[in-house]
Amino acid sequence: MEVYELNMDGLVGPSHHYAGLSAGNIASTFNAFTTANPAAAAHQGIAKMRLLHQMGLKQALLPPHQRPNLHLLHQLGFYGSPAELVKQAKKADLNLLGACYSASSMWTANAATVSASLDTQNHRVHFTAANLVGNLHRHQEADYSYQLLKKYLLMNGFFIIIHHCLKRLLQGMKEPPIITGYVPLTTTQASTFLYMGNELCRSIIPFPALAVSLPDKHWKPHKP
């Protein structure tokens, strides 16, 4: 069977702006409230994708999410016409308004966790939409990212399986979990874990995720 690498890029949306919504992110904080140029950014992204395509790489484009996200405002209890919703959000919290207009879905690397077929029990590629619960402006992308993946990866269910974000794992958790894993020395199959603070716990995900390195202080020897 022929296999190849597919590069997936998100297109910058027309509401792209710098609102400093990612606390602790140096770039986000440093560029907060500076002037953005969505059109120029979109053209730069397309130029980069075209270059990779001309070099012979497989290139895919994911469209921007619809913004402003008025559905989010409805969920939070705001009501009225679109203009009234935006006005109410601005009055209530500028960060909320910034989140509703966020174009951060352009960062496709944060859209999902991809588990390679070589590392999964059923030997299929698994895409699990990221819940990104640490930031509202990213968490609102989860459902739409899931729908996009289902629509564009047409082989879903045969070679590729798409999973919704892991919402149930968040109940009762003070901090969002980070999906990670490691490869035991005795096997080539990776194990999936949730890493929370200083604790490691085995995930209920029915398939292993991609293996990554854990910090030395959290490493534990594998027990068969």
Band (220; pLDDT cuts 50, 70, 90): very low
117 lies in the same domain as 56: yes
Number of CB atoms found within 10 A of residue 5's CB: 6
**Token pair for 207:** 């398939």
Residue ranges making up the domain that contains 75: 68-101
Q: pTM of the full predicted structure?
A: 0.68
What phi, psi does 123 have (nearest 5°)?
60, 35
Residue-wise pLDDT tens digits, 66-115: 999 999 999 889 999 999 999 999 999 999 999 999 999 998 888 888 88
54 lies in the same domain as 77: no
Number of domains composing the chain: 2
**Token pair for 173:** 């958790």
> From residue 96, how far is each of 7, 80, 102, 105, 156 by CA, in Å?
32, 17, 10, 16, 35
Q: Which residue has the higher pLDDT, 17 or 159?
A: 17
Instruction: Give the residue-averaged pLDDT of 143-168.
Output: 77
Q: Which residue has the higher pLDDT, 194 or 137?
A: 137
Residue-wise pLDDT tens digits, 31-59: 888 999 999 999 999 999 999 999 999 99
Last residue of a domain, one of 101, 121, 146: 101
